[in-house]
Each structure stands twice: as C-alpha cells, then as structure tokens.
Amino acid sequence: MALLEVEDLRIAFGSSTVVDGVSFHVDESQVVSLVGESGCGKSVTSLAIMGLLPKLRKSGRGGGAAVSGRAVFDGVDLFGLSADQMRRRRGADLAMVFQDPLSSLNPVVPIGRQITEVLERHRGLRGEAARKEAENLLDRVGIPDPRRRLGEYPHQLSGGMRQRVLIAIAVACAPRLLIADEPTTALDVTIQAQILELLKDLVDAEGTALLMITHDLGVVAGMCNVVNVLYSGRVVESSSASRLFAEPTHPYTVGLLGSIPRLDLPIHEPLKPIRGSIADVIRWGDGCAFAPRCDLVGAECVAGEPMLKGEAHAHRCVKAEEIA
C-alpha cells in the first residue's frame, strides 16, 4: 500500500482554483517529484499535505484556502485530523524542508536550540541527551565541528550549511515522509549537488520516502523514481523517471525537456523555450489548458476535458500518439 495517497486534491483561494483535482501517491522509500513551472500549484500542494495553508473561515473572508479531496497517509486521511492531531504528526511522521534556508531559521536563536526544540517535542529528549543527539544530527548532515556550531546563529553559517541544518531538523525524528520544497533553489550549483547527494543518502539509509517539489528536471533525473508533471493545477503526465525522459508524451513535458541546455548539442544551437506563460485562459473543463502555448494544438484540444490516460505512464493529451 502507498505511504501517502493524494486523491482528487482541490485547492481554491477565493474564486481562483490553483489545484484542480491532483492525484498521486508516494510509496515507502520512494522518491517522487512534482515538477512544473511557477504557479502550477506544486508548492501549494505540499503545504496542503502538511496542513500549513491558512484555514478558510466560515464568513469566507480572510483569504483562507478551500481544500477538498483526500491525503491518506499510512491509512489516515490527513485532512480529517484535528489541528492538535496534525501538530503531533508534523515533524514526527512528516517533515518538510523549505526553499530559503535563511528565512526559515530563526535569526535570534542559536541553531542548537532550534534542533533540540524538535527533539524535545517529539522524542522527549532533554538537556545533555538532546544536545548529544543534535550534535549527531549535524555530524550526519556533514557539518564539521558540530559541537561548536550548535551555539552559532544562522547568520554565521553559509547558505549550504543552513540548508544542511534545516535538513538535520527535518530528519531529527526520522519521519517516514520528507517533503522538500525546492530545497536547492536558493543555493549555488556546486552546493546544490552536495545537498541533493545528502538528501539521497539520508533517504536511502533510513528508507524515508521523499516528495520532491522542483522545477529543475536535472534534479529529477538525478534522484527521483517517479515524476508527476503539473500544469495549471493538474497532473499532465505521470510516469517513472526513466520512461518520462526517454519518451515524453505530453507536449508540455516535451517543451520542458527541450528548454534545458544539453552538453551533446552543437554550441550555438538556440534553446527551444515554451511560448507564452502560464495563464488561466482555458479552464480544464473546456479543454486543454496548455493549448494556447502548444505547437500541436488542434480543434480536438479544446473540445471538452482531456482525461488522464494510461496506467504506468499516464498522460493528459488527446494527441499523444502524434508525439510518440
């Protein structure tokens, strides 16, 4: 059985629906990614799973999110839990690594205390025991001289080290699912590779499942088992990573792959960008939302809702045969 099963997730802020029926699942010790450009709903999806979106009030004011659907984690629907039950799971069963390591750490609290805080909360460790464990964690994420680092403040660490600290906090209680929301976006390229390596090692060693939110297909190729490509709030293609890269079937995926610079292409060959930008021109109910930007667009593309077809390698395109 899947560890996390997201079914028909819908998220709306006021009248605009940002996630429109997303389903995917994450198995034990599997690395699954949600890929898409800015605004496709990938970060909101992860925040919804963690229960971190602002709640909708009965009055309808205040800009809360209306979330429907199910997110079944280990047999329990996370959306059905009370705030208190959810709080007990966060950090212990599911944990999250955020995008910007500087603003995600409290600037006036030494990192040691930010780590022991979680250990106290979920593992009941106190005093010297918590300190020792925090030291171990820092050591595990590859921070040299951990004992001294515990007393330092976030501004004294480099960007890569801060992200390592965040990862240490996230894995402190051996969560079964780790959600990483663009964990390498704020870092430079050499550090990105180290952080990905670290995440991969931790996931392999503990058998943790990892849900990776990213817009970087290079990251996906490097570490993910399963890829879900999101466009305008829906999954447009879902398959194992190797098959997705070998034979992409949705024009959007093809476009994403085509816009990556490649070492084996001639030097002056221009990149092929996808035309336009993401916009709510067409609702999914009327046709394919990607149609306005698609090179292969035809009349059948906007004649009704395109369905997700296929089992192992699913796609949402009526012209899939033409691409293959």
**CB 231 within 8 Å of CB 42:** no
- Determine which residue in the list 10, 25, 113, 200 makes contact with other proteins, applying CB under 8 A: 113
Q: Which amino acid is at 210?
A: L
Tell me the closest approach of the beta carbon of residue 173 to other proteins, in angstroms: 8
- The CA-based angle 218-223-227, given to 5 degrees, is 75
- Determine which residue in the list 9, 34, 72, 96 makes contact with other proteins, applying CB under 8 A: 96
Q: Looking at beta carbons only, is 151 or 207 nearer to other proteins?
A: 151
Find the binding residues for other proteins in span 146-205 (CB under 8 A): 148, 151-153, 155-156, 166, 169-170, 172
**Segment contacting other proteins by CB under 8 A, of 109-117, 246-254, 263-271, 297-305:** 109-117
| 122 contributes a contact to other proteins by CB under 8 A | yes
Name, in order, each residue with C-beta under 8 angstroms of 104's C-beta and a sequence gap of 6 or more: 98, 166
| 6 contributes a contact to other proteins by CB under 8 A | no
| 57 contributes a contact to other proteins by CB under 8 A | yes
Q: How far apart are CA 37 and CA 59, in angstroms?
A: 33
Q: Looking at beta carbons only, is 11 or 229 nearer to other proteins?
A: 11
Tell me the closest approach of the beta carbon of residue 160 to other proteins, in angstroms: 17
| 109 contributes a contact to other proteins by CB under 8 A | yes
Q: Which residues does residue 324 pair with via DSSP β-bridges, in sequence order?
A: none
Tell me the closest approach of the beta carbon of residue 102 to other proteins, in angstroms: 8
Q: Looking at beta carbons only, is 91 or 160 nearer to other proteins?
A: 91
Q: How far apart are CA 179 and CA 42, in angstroms?
A: 11
CB neighbour burial string for 131-141, b if at least 16 within 10 angstroms, e if fewer: bebbbebbebb
**Segment contacting other proteins by CB under 8 A, of 82-90, 200-208, 256-264, 303-311:** 82-90
**CB 316 within 8 Å of CB 309:** yes
| 126 contributes a contact to other proteins by CB under 8 A | no
Tell me the closest approach of the beta carbon of residue 50 to other proteins, in angstroms: 6
Question: Which residue shows structure tokens 């059905």?
Answer: 80
Q: Looking at beta carbons only, is 149 or 319 nearer to other proteins?
A: 149
**CB 179 within 8 Å of CB 213:** yes
**Segment contacting other proteins by CB under 8 A, of 25-33, 87-95, 221-229, 278-286:** 87-95
CA distances from 206 to 64, 91, 172, 224, 286 (A): 36, 15, 12, 16, 45
Q: Looking at beta carbons only, is 118 or 291 nearer to other proteins?
A: 118
Q: How far apart are CA 96 and CA 73, in angstroms?
A: 15
Q: How far apart are CA 287 and CA 303, in angstroms?
A: 6
| 106 contributes a contact to other proteins by CB under 8 A | yes
Q: Looking at beta carbons only, is 92 or 282 nearer to other proteins?
A: 92
**CB 122 within 8 Å of CB 133:** no
Q: Which residues bind other proteins (CB under 8 A)?
A: 50, 52, 57, 87-92, 95-96, 98, 100, 103-109, 113, 117-118, 121-122, 148, 151-153, 155-156, 166, 169-170, 172
